[in-house]
Amino acid sequence: MIHILDTDKLVNEIKKVIRGKDSVIRSTLMAILSKGHILLEDVPGVGKTTLALAFSKAMGLKYNRIQFTPDVMPSDITGFTMYNKEKGSFDYVEGAAMCNILLADEINRTSPRTQSALLEVMEEGSVTVDTVTRQVPSPFIVIATQNPFGSSGTQRLPQSQLDRFLIRLSMGYPDRESEINILKGFGMANIDSVEAVMGENDIKKYMEECAETYMSDELLGYIADISSATRRSELFSIGISPRGSIACAAIAKACAYISGRDYTVPEDILDTLYMSCAHRIELSEKAYSLSYNTYKALESVISSIKMPKG
């Protein structure tokens, strides 16, 4: 029996400190329920850190933040062993990854070696230090941020690493009304005002229920057709990978789940396709010559595929 979570109750807690970004809040929730990692690509000062911290508090989860700079080492993420003189032994010192929600701030400012260490933890769900493997807490979600503007001192994430993130989002600037409220102080409430409305065991239960959301063979075929079409299309030099197809199905199920349904419909796929797949594909020279952006190229491909009834 599926007991779908009270989405509004959770979203309202997050909205105490994040105003005018309901779609971003819901998309982040969908990714967390799908056990997926999130890449927030946006300019500084739009609330990325506050979003991650608010989710950790509302969900009753342990939160860590690591500010990436060129001198951050892999051991800062995985942890390290230190000699304990009193005990005469080496003790393990936890790294930033030992938490439920990890904010990896400005991931593109650190070295490829450190990026790889983080992405390995994301994929494996464990860290290995001095031949000893330790599991990170469950659930474990990474919310990574990067500034898309200005490349000085940054290390661009390669396509293979971008593919590890379930979705890519942009916070964007607030609308006029929301910004006025922020200036009045309504959007700057203390983060301590966010109360836990669930706990770790609740999250695990919701994740299991989300995964059990029904998706018909017709809809699975629809996802496969879209992915296949991007690989054949002259608009793309790199199409949607099989991991991208899996991500598309997972986030579509989460979309249905937070909408109060235990089954998916075609609109769930279309509503989440861009966030789950846009960062996994590359436009071709032909697409650029036609002045297509990623969204327009995907729309062109989707329009050529018959949408199932449900």
What CATH number is attached to the domain comprising 217? 1.10.8.80
Domain-embedded: residue 310: no
Average pLDDT over residues 159-171: 87
- Of the candidates 189, 182, 20, 168, which has an alpha carbon nearest to the alpha carbon of residue 108? 168
Domain-embedded: residue 176: yes
Domain-embedded: residue 308: no
| Residue whose pair of structure tokens reads 């979600």 in the numeric block | 141
> For residue 234, how many other CB atoms are within 10 A of its CB?
11
Count Cα neighbours of 133 within 13 Å in the Cβ-side half-sphere.
6
Helix boundaries (H) for 84-199:
112-124, 159-162, 176-184
Task: Tell me, yes or no, whether 169 and 234 share the same domain.
Answer: no
Domain-embedded: residue 1: no
pLDDT per residue as tens digits for the range 122-150: 989 999 888 888 999 999 999 998 877 65
Most confidently predicted of 89-98, 149-158, 227-236: 227-236
Where among 164, 180, 204 does a domain terminate? 204
Where among 160, 184, 204 does a domain terminate? 204
Does residue 88 carry a pLDDT above 90?
no
Task: Tell me, yes or no, whether 41 and 167 share the same domain.
Answer: yes
Q: Which residues contact 245 (CB under 8 A, 6 or more apart)?
A: 223, 224, 227
Task: Tell me, yes or no, whether 128 and 240 share the same domain.
Answer: no
Task: Tell me, yes or no, whether 45 and 78 share the same domain.
Answer: yes
Q: Which two tokens stand for residue 159?
A: 């396509």
Does residue 76 carry a pLDDT above 90?
yes
Span between the terminal Cα atoms of the chain, in Å: 22
pLDDT per residue as tens digits for the range 6-41: 888 999 999 888 888 889 999 999 999 999 999 998
Q: Taking a C-beta distance cutoff of 8 angstroms, is the pair 251, 272 a contact?
A: yes
Task: Tell me, yes or no, whether 116 and 256 share the same domain.
Answer: no
Task: Tell me, yes or no, whether 45 and 69 share the same domain.
Answer: yes
Q: Taking a C-beta distance cutoff of 8 angstroms, is the pair 61, 200 a contact?
A: yes
Number of domain units in the chain: 2
Where among 172, 204, 236 does a domain terminate? 204
Domain-embedded: residue 111: yes
Domain-embedded: residue 66: yes
Average pLDDT over residues 178-188: 71
Domain-embedded: residue 223: yes
| Residues of the chain above pLDDT 90, percent | 58
Task: Tell me, yes or no, whether 105 and 29 share the same domain.
Answer: yes
Domain-embedded: residue 63: yes
CATH (domain of 14): 3.40.50.300
Task: Tell me, yes or no, whether 97 and 35 share the same domain.
Answer: yes
Q: Which residues contact 141 (CB under 8 A, 6 or more apart)?
A: 31, 32, 35, 36, 37, 38, 100, 101, 102
pLDDT at 288: 93
Task: Tell me, yes or no, whether 35 and 65 share the same domain.
Answer: yes
Q: Which two tokens stand for residue 95?
A: 């790294």
Residue type at position 85: K
Task: Tell me, yes or no, whether 193 and 232 share the same domain.
Answer: no
pLDDT per residue as tens digits for the range 265-296: 999 999 999 999 999 999 999 999 999 999 99
Average pLDDT over residues 227-254: 95
Quote the domain boundaries for residue 242: 213-302
Q: Which two tokens stand for residue 239?
A: 């199409």
Task: Tell me, yes or no, whether 162 and 283 share the same domain.
Answer: no
Task: Tell me, yes or no, whether 16 and 145 share the same domain.
Answer: yes
Q: Taking a C-beta distance cutoff of 8 angstroms, is the pair 142, 104 a contact?
A: yes
